[in-house]
Structure 1
Amino acid sequence: MKRALCIMSGGMDSTLCAYLAKKQGFKIIALHFDYRQRTQLKEKECFEKICKDLGVYKSYILNTDLIENIGANALTDTKIPIPKNELGQNEFPITYVPFRNGIFLSIAGALAEKEKCQSIFIGVVEEDGSNYPDCTKKFIKKAQKFINQGTAIKHKISIQTPLIKFKKKDIVSLALKEKVPLELTWSCYENNDLACGECDSCLLRLKGFKQAGFKDKIAYKI
């Protein structure tokens, strides 16, 4: 049975990708990264619940606190405030974590080699995101090339990005159509209890639900 390594943050996009991979007949190897982000406790909780609902073959939670040590972002540095109500106002917002997807995909490449996976699924969104440079189709194409050049396996690993050209409303609609439990997912950059409703990620999520014509089941502070 073919295997897919699914990078899963506990958020909507990566969760939908994992369910789509399962629908395609892949056995799911779930991978979650702990880089000491503000909402890691909630993200880990969501990841574990999603893995149980999805019935994954195997799951990994890997420590990547080197990302926190590098810093320069508001997700790991609590001294830097999370921007509020500034969606789309900055080319590279302070919530951008330097080369995060590059680090994640490098590690995923090694794990995919170990687990004999044919594909890596990652929920990057280029069209309707926060302008992160490591969420583009061009970047993913080059990442796939360096993974295949740097791994000792006979078959080629493909990086699957089924949502890369989606709008958030399309992600919400498809997820609900595929019966993905979005109430188990988390998007907030700041809180572990009630989603703040003001950070870029919350605003994108709320915008997606509103435009898709559905109500988000998670609770918001604002």
Structure 2
Amino acid sequence: MKTIVICSGGLDSVSLAHMVAQEQQLTRLVSFDYGQRHRKELNYASLCAQRLDVPLDIIDLRGIGAALTGSALTDDIDVPDGHYAEESMRVTVVPNRNAIMLAVAFGVAAAQGDQAVATAVHGGDHFIYPDCRPSFTQAFETMQKAALDGYADVSLYTPFVHRTKADIVTEGARHSTPFAQTWSCYKGGEKHCGRCGTCVERREAFHLANIADPTTYADPDYWIAAIARKDRG
């Protein structure tokens, strides 16, 4: 199946790109610049496209991102430290981000004659990101079938939507994903901070998958306390 992958440059989407490249027909990667403070992730999407020898479309959504105010990813608001399951992480929500990106990606797929759009949403996202939940992805695919009726038949491929981040690490390793060439940290510094939700989740996932984490973190042990705090509720 001719498939495009929405690729941020993060661990999840790069692992998905490698999986699709081996199991389906990967035609291109689509990335989005929405003014995110961790824009350096796009460099890793570019490396992935080069490695898999497919085109990369970086679509400029900065004007839209600027209008979606109130998120720590696009505004001058501190990115909180801690586990994703903490209530404080809701400040990292960019409203309708996935819905907007998916709508654009489906348009690209229809224009290019692709048969599927793949996105790496997963179970760990469900707590704070409503547009990563199965109910959303199912409804979105239904909407797109109606939007493209008679013009194109494009499916939504979400192999991780019911799976954990640790499962993604396992799949990524199975498909020879170079994890060191992925970027997760929302703070976008020189190295992964080790403290934000994405860093804690990344470090925890490698631990649960029992796979060596090649990432250099500014604070490599913070994740232990963050998980303990989350488990205490």
1:201 aligns with 2:188: no
1:17-55 Cα shifts (integer Å, max 9, x gaps): 112211223132110000110110x21110111111112
- Matched with 2:34 is 35
- Matched with 2:53 is 55
Please tell me the residue identity of whatever aligns with 1:6: V
Taking the aligned partners of 1:202 and 1:92, their CA distance within structure 2 comes to 13
Taking the aligned partners of 1:160 and 1:25, their CA distance within structure 2 comes to 11
What is the TM-score of this pair, normalised by structure 2?
Answer: 0.88
1:217 aligns with 2:214: yes
1:160 aligns with 2:157: yes
Provide structure 2 residue ranges, at least 5 long, that are not aligned to the other structure: 220-233
Please provide the CA RMSD for this pair: 1.7
Contact 2:84 2:197 in 1 (8 A): yes
How far has the Cα of 1:217 moved from its partner?
A: 1.1
Taking the aligned partners of 2:41 and 2:124, their CA distance within structure 1 comes to 24
Taking the aligned partners of 2:207 and 2:58, their CA distance within structure 1 comes to 32
1:170-200 Cα shifts (integer Å, max 9, x gaps): 1111211211111110100002311111111
- Matched with 2:178 is 181
How far has the Cα of 1:146 moved from its partner?
A: 1.5
- Matched with 2:230 is none
1:152-183 Cα shifts (integer Å, max 9, x gaps): 65552110001111112111112112111111
Please tell me the residue identity of whatever aligns with 1:82: V
1:150 aligns with 2:147: yes
Taking the aligned partners of 1:128 and 1:146, their CA distance within structure 2 comes to 22
- Matched with 1:90 is 87
- Matched with 1:108 is 105
- Matched with 1:64 is 61
- Matched with 2:5 is 6
Taking the aligned partners of 1:153 and 1:168, their CA distance within structure 2 comes to 37
Give the secondary structure class of the aligned counterpart of 1:94.
helix
Taking the aligned partners of 2:89 and 2:217, their CA distance within structure 1 comes to 25
1:99 aligns with 2:115: no
Taking the aligned partners of 2:88 and 2:135, their CA distance within structure 1 comes to 18
Provide structure 1 residue ranges, at least 5 long, that are not aligned to the other structure: none
The more displaced of 127-136 and 11-20 is 127-136
How far has the Cα of 1:92 moved from its partner?
A: 6.2
Of residues 63, 72, 75, the one that matches 2:73 is: 75
4+ aligned runs moved over 6 Å, structure 1 = none
The sequence identity of aligned pairs, in percent, is: 28
Contact 2:10 2:183 in 1 (8 A): yes
Of residues 42, 45, 48, the one that matches 1:44 is: 42
Taking the aligned partners of 2:183 and 2:29, their CA distance within structure 1 comes to 16
Contact 2:83 2:196 in 1 (8 A): yes
Evaluate the alpha carbon distance shift between residue 131 and residue 91 of structure 1 in structure 2; reply closer, same or farther with a 3 A threshold.
farther
1:134 aligns with 2:131: yes
What is the TM-score of this pair, normalised by structure 1?
Answer: 0.92
